[in-house]
Structure 1
Amino acid sequence: MKTVDAKHPIEFTVPASGVGSFYVQEDHRSNFYNHYHRHKEYQISYILKGRGSMLIGNLIQPFLEDEIYILKANDPHIFIKEGAEEEQIHAIHIFVAFDKLWSFFDLSELQPARDFFKNIDSSKKIEQDISLKIKAKFQELAKEEGIHKLMCILEVFQFLIAHEQDMHSLYSGLPESNFNDKVGVRINEVLRFSLANYDKEISIEEVSKLIHMTPSAFCKYFKKHTMKTYVTFLNEIRIEKACQLLINKATENISEVAYQCGFNTVVHFNRVFKSILNTSPTEFVNRHSAQALAK
């Protein structure tokens, strides 16, 4: 990874590097890599500790402990931790570089793994009830080298192939060509500001100043590169945060949730909630309560 020079924008493309054909990275620190980025390697990430929001393409959603993310090559993404600054995150990442490994995957025994990566149509998520079955193997990966590391990785591949039907798509519909380094830097600024201030009133004038544009130019720029308006994007962040509050029962008062997430009226909150999730907040709470009782 290149060292960031404070005088220049960050690199948008962040290639994985390291010793060996498969690069395994362990993050055990205060935060994830904190720039919106992409790389040519496929990335398989197990979240051992930490929670927050992730943006992939133009799709924002929460992430939780004991979830697995399979990120398709060149899908722009960022994990952003929530919680106290001193809280640690812990994640294990496997990076798969096909330009190094094509002859390895050409072995007939590895055809299922090659087909899995070749045919994956979008980035994916595996939820906790399934991912816990392979947790110990990811934990081993951080300690192993040589043939033992390779055997662990092959077991992870076998697990992914066996549970392909259990994966949730993270397809955002965002064309890869929409992004370059400069766009990544700007979107990163807008994303971070929005996540830090979603509970307040945010004007287009305020957010456009972040990336030194007029409001009109910013609206066109954001729509071009994310395929949605900034207002839609901000509302999706707010509804995602509202869902977390409702699921975690931080409050059972829907009016309070609405105001905590930046909506001025409950009527507006209900309308936006239904337009994004095709259900009302009350129906959402009832459904998740029923699912929790059924487990």
Structure 2
Amino acid sequence: MKVLPFQIPKPEKSALIYQVDKAAQFYPHLHQHEEIQISIVLAGEGELIVGDTVNYFKPNDVFIVGSNIPHLFRNNPVEGQEAHMLTLFFTKSSFGDSFFDLPEMEYLQPLLRKLESGVQVQEKVSGIKSLFLELHGQSHFERMISFLEILKLAASSKTSSLSSFVYQKVYSDDEGERMSKVMNHAISNYQNPITLQEIADLANMTPNAFCRYFKRRTRKTFFQFLLEIRLEAACRMLKNNPEMSIVAVSEASGFNNLSNFNRKFREMKGMTPTRYRRE
């Protein structure tokens, strides 16, 4: 199976693709595909990488990932529990080249323009969830109506961007394998020291070549990317583990000293870890 680009399995005579992912682990590689993806997470939580940015997903989150945006849903495996996500895939030409240019579709244009960086839908999630849950038993026609209703709700909702920069190129298989290895290694080992030589060796490149390669594709250094992973992990620990001290959170998220942790946290989150925990 190719990592990048990824081919969405397409049923015959179906312009709109409905997919159920229910397993111990979502597809674990960075990938991209032509189809726009609308997904709701029903079970599982973990990191969502879109373009250059590390996000976090949990049950009842709704995401829309645009065409050919590199992304990765990496759930945290829990023994005896399956991750569960429902997704609709479509392209702007799935229903005809001019479908989304029709006057009747003008309402959706602001949403479609946002998809170059991907979005998380912040409002009307319960309505979107209800529509997704009805998809399984529907005919193709009924599913199309539900799809348009989902788009309508998303278009009238507040959204947040999933990425600040997307590398505008379709990755080769080799590039996809390399970036997937690098990002998965960072997510799996953020709590431990990671050296430039270590990550360059993983990418089968010299340190200088790797630095240029990674920054060209993400517009940030690898260690900026790693810092974001560590701080997102720290945020989850602060919220989900009130018994953990700030020192323990700092150490568990990969920081070698408390002062550095406090400084970086404040720079990126605009507040101290203690205040973040209280809010």
**TM-score, scaled to structure 1:** 0.86
Whether 1:100 aligns to 2:94 is: yes
Partner of 1:23: 17
Counterpart AA for 1:125: Q
1:82-231 alignment, distance < 5 Å = 82-101=76-95, 102-113=97-108, 116-118=111-113, 120-127=115-122, 130-163=124-157, 166-177=158-169, 179-231=171-223
Q: Deviation at 1:103?
A: 3.9
Q: What is the number of residues matched between the two proteins? A: 276
Rounded Cα–Cα distance in structure 1 between residues aligned with 2:90 and 2:170: 24
Rounded Cα–Cα distance in structure 1 between residues aligned with 2:204 and 2:83: 33
Counterpart AA for 2:160: H
Counterpart AA for 1:124: V
CA RMSD of aligned residues (A): 2.0
Counterpart AA for 1:56: V
Any idea what SS the aligned residue of 1:100 has?
A: coil
Q: Deviation at 1:52?
A: 0.4
Partner of 2:60: 66
Partner of 1:7: none
- Shift in CA distance, 215/106, structure 1 to aligned 2, threshold 3 Å: closer
Any idea what SS the aligned residue of 1:276 has?
A: helix
Instruction: Work out whether residues 117 and 161 of structure 2, in 8 Å CA contact, stay in contact via their aligned partners in 1.
Output: yes
Q: Write 1 or 2 for the structure with the bigger share of helix.
A: 1
Partner of 1:283: 275
Rounded Cα–Cα distance in structure 1 between residues aligned with 2:113 and 2:236: 34
Unaligned 5+ residue runs, structure 2?
none
Counterpart AA for 1:68: V
Q: Pick 1 or 2: higher relative contact order, CA cutoff 8 A, min separation 6.
A: 2
**Which stretch shifts more, 221-230 or 265-274?**
221-230
Partner of 2:32: 38
Q: Deviation at 1:252?
A: 4.1
- Shift in CA distance, 266/14, structure 1 to aligned 2, threshold 3 Å: same
- Shift in CA distance, 239/115, structure 1 to aligned 2, threshold 3 Å: closer
Unaligned 5+ residue runs, structure 1?
5-9, 289-295
Counterpart AA for 2:262: N
